[in-house]
Amino acid sequence: VTNGGKSTLAKNLQKHLPNCSVISQDDFFKPESEIETDKNGFLQYDVLEALNMEEMMSAISCWRENAGCSLVPTEERAEETPILIIEGFLLFNYKPLDTLWNRSYFLTIPYEECKRRRSTRVYKPPDTPGYFDGHVWPMYLKHKQEMEEALTWEIVYLDGTKSEEDLFSQVYEDLTQELAKQKCKYCT
């Protein structure tokens, strides 16, 4: 969900996890001139077509190649396992990413909180009057439903109204436990 805390959580995790990188879907928006407009005059930013997903996939492939992800970690390198956090609002609706997930988290916040947070942000181009109710929130609900209908893996839903610290602690603990399991696989 927009303004749910995805970027903040990803940045906090990156600060605390060794050998961690973040790729943000927001960095792959097409130029405004390439964004379609709906019948109400709203720019269609909340759709996959507004994003250069091929370029994002290329960045992920480049990271995987350069981080040595194809190498099997040895006992000595297990603590330095490269970690890639991919954060964004339409990741689970883009099928080519389905095979990449080791862990998946989905931040949710209620409508009122989402609208309040969105109103405090400055976007380029700026949100036009009625944009949140006429485009952003309906697209979120549509894409969330599509995602849930197509899920073939487990997603952990996180309450985005919790404090940054609580969300960080929850995900950090989960990830460090997963990394410990991975390390044990290579220690036998």
| pLDDT tens, residue by residue, 159-175 | 999 999 999 999 999 99
Q: What CATH class does 6-186 carry? A: alpha beta
pTM beyond 0.85: yes
Confidence of residue 73 (pLDDT cuts 50, 70, 90): very low
> How many Å apart are CA 166 and CA 172, to the nearest integer?
10
Instruction: Tell me the domain boundaries of the chain.
Output: 6-186
Cβ atoms of residues 86 and 27 within 8 Å: no
The three-state secondary structure class of 39 is: coil
Q: Which of 26, 27, 166, 174 is catalytic?
A: 26
User: Catalytic: 26?
Assistant: yes
> How many Å apart are CA 65 and CA 82, to the nearest integer?
11
- pLDDT tens-digit readout, 141-151: 999 999 999 98
Q: What is the pLDDT of residue 185?
A: 52
- pLDDT tens-digit readout, 105-114: 999 999 999 9
